[in-house]
């Protein structure tokens, strides 16, 4: 039985911020990550929430992330924003990029943001959600260290490589799609390994490409692609968008997002923001209402993002139950 303690979202943000600054992260880098951590816990994605704070802190200490980095923003072409994350946290780089991307997309109808020399951006849908809240259709891609083998192979060449689409609605995203190219996010396998729990068949493969229920064996092998070869295709698409299109490091050359070996991973993120009013002749809201309505009309049917939205409302009112062992690790860092 895992012991938990209920914290408010502001308490989650505060303890995250204090841990990050305790290891030398500047406030301008710590705050966006702390805010995102609280939002991630609110959405019920615990594997990417407070559980990652000790890892982030370890990576600042060992140099995989520069906690004092200053993102460098450029606009090389009309409609294009680029950010050199300077081996710092992705969240601060994305914040800096969005400050230019959002008004650019609203002015021109469409704009792109390419980020390189970056790091794990956490839950990708957290970022596209922000674009949808601004009234824009948001698309996002982020690559990761290689953990998925190609079809017919057993050696990883691409990461779990999530993509996300957030479509704006009347009060936030009408639809939020956020999924990795693997059957399950690698962080979930890591979480099971930390807790000594077996994983379901179909989550990961051993070094020979065979299914395994041992998370540690899976972490040494490869993640199972979602939908077989189709999942590999999604991972390759994301690799092209988040690494090749941004000039970031390919997953085959990136250091792990866990452990202290290898230096900064220097991965990338790519976002597109589109003003629906520029492309839909005023029909976007009506079309989305009809599409969402067709799903909601079916008993038991739900849309991607519905679960997170419901969890977010509960968390705002009731707080979030968090793992006490994780809290103790974070409190030890704060001292």
Strands of 110-118's sheet in order across: 72-77, 80-84, 110-118, 267-274, 137-142, 163-169, 172-179
Separation of first and last alpha carbons in the chain:
27
Q: How far is CA 213 from the centre of its chain?
A: 25
Percent of the chain exceeding pLDDT 90 equals 84
Instruction: Give just the sign of the alpha carbon dihedral 66, 244, 53, 130.
Output: positive
Residues 10 and 49 in one domain: yes
Q: Does residue 200 belong to any structural domain of this protein?
A: no
The catalytically annotated residue of 129, 180, 182, 188 is 188
Question: pTM score, two decimals?
Answer: 0.94
Query: Could you give the number of structural domains in the chain?
Result: 2
How many residues are there in the chain?
335
Q: Does residue 209 belong to any structural domain of this protein?
A: no
Q: Is 192 exposed, middle or buried (0-12, 13-18, 19+ CB in 10 A)?
A: buried
Instruction: Give just the sign of the alpha carbon dihedral 143, 309, 326, 328.
Output: positive
Question: Rounded CA gap, 237 and 127, in Å?
Answer: 19
Q: Which residues constitute the domain of residue 43?
A: 1-62+306-335
For 61-85, how does the pLDDT look when each residue is reduced to its tens digit (9 = 90+)? Answer: 999 999 999 999 999 999 999 999 9
The catalytically annotated residue of 13, 16, 41, 48 is 48
The catalytically annotated residue of 47, 164, 226, 255 is 47
For the chain, the C-alpha Rg in angstroms (whole number) is 19
48 is catalytic: yes
Residue labelled with tokens 């230096």:
263
Residues 265 and 157 in one domain: yes
Q: Does residue 205 belong to any structural domain of this protein?
A: no
Q: Does the pLDDT value for residue 49 go beyond 90?
A: yes
47 is catalytic: yes
For 272-315, how does the pLDDT look when each residue is reduced to its tens digit (9 = 90+)? Answer: 999 999 999 999 999 999 999 999 999 999 999 999 999 999 99
127 is catalytic: no
């Amino acid at each position: 039985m895992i012991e938990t303690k209920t914290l408010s979202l502001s308490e989650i943000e505060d303890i995250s911020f204090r841990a990050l600054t305790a290891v030398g992260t500047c406030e301008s880098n710590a705050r966006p990550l702390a805010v995102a951590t609280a939002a991630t816990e609110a959405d019920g994605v615990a594997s990417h929430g407070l559980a990652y704070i000790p890892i982030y802190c370890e990576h600042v200490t060992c140099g995989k992330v520069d906690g004092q980095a200053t993102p460098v923003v450029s606009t090389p072409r009309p409609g294009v924003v680029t950010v050199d994350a300077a081996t710092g946290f992705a969240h601060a780089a994305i914040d800096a990029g969005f400050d230019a991307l959002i008004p650019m997309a609203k002015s021109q109808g469409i704009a792109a943001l390419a980020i390189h020399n970056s790091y794990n951006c956490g839950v990708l849908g957290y970022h596209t959600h922000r674009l949808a809240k601004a009234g824009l259709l948001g698309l996002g891609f982020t690559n990761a260290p290689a953990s998925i083998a190609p079809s017919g192979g057993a050696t990883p060449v691409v990461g779990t490589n999530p993509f996300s689409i957030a479509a704006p609605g009347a009060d936030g995203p009408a639809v939020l799609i956020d999924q990795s190219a693997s059957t399950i996010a690698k962080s979930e396998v890591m979480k099971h390994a930390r807790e000594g729990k077996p994983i379901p068949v179909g989550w990961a493969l051993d070094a020979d490409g065979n299914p395994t229920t041992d998370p540690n064996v899976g972490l040494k092998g490869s993640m199972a692609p979602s939908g077989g070869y189709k999942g590999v295709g999604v991972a390759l698409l994301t690799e092209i968008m988040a690494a090749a299109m941004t000039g970031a490091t390919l997953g085959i050359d990136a250091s792990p997002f866990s452990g202290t070996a290898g230096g900064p991973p220097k991965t990338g993120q790519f976002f597109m923001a589109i003003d629906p009013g520029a492309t839909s002749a005023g029909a976007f809201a009506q079309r989305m209402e009809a599409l969402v309505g067709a799903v909601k009309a079916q008993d038991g049917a739900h849309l991607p993002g519905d679960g997170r939205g419901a969890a977010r409302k509960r968390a705002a009112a009731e707080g979030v139950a968090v793992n006490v062992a994780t809290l103790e690790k974070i409190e030890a860092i704060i001292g």
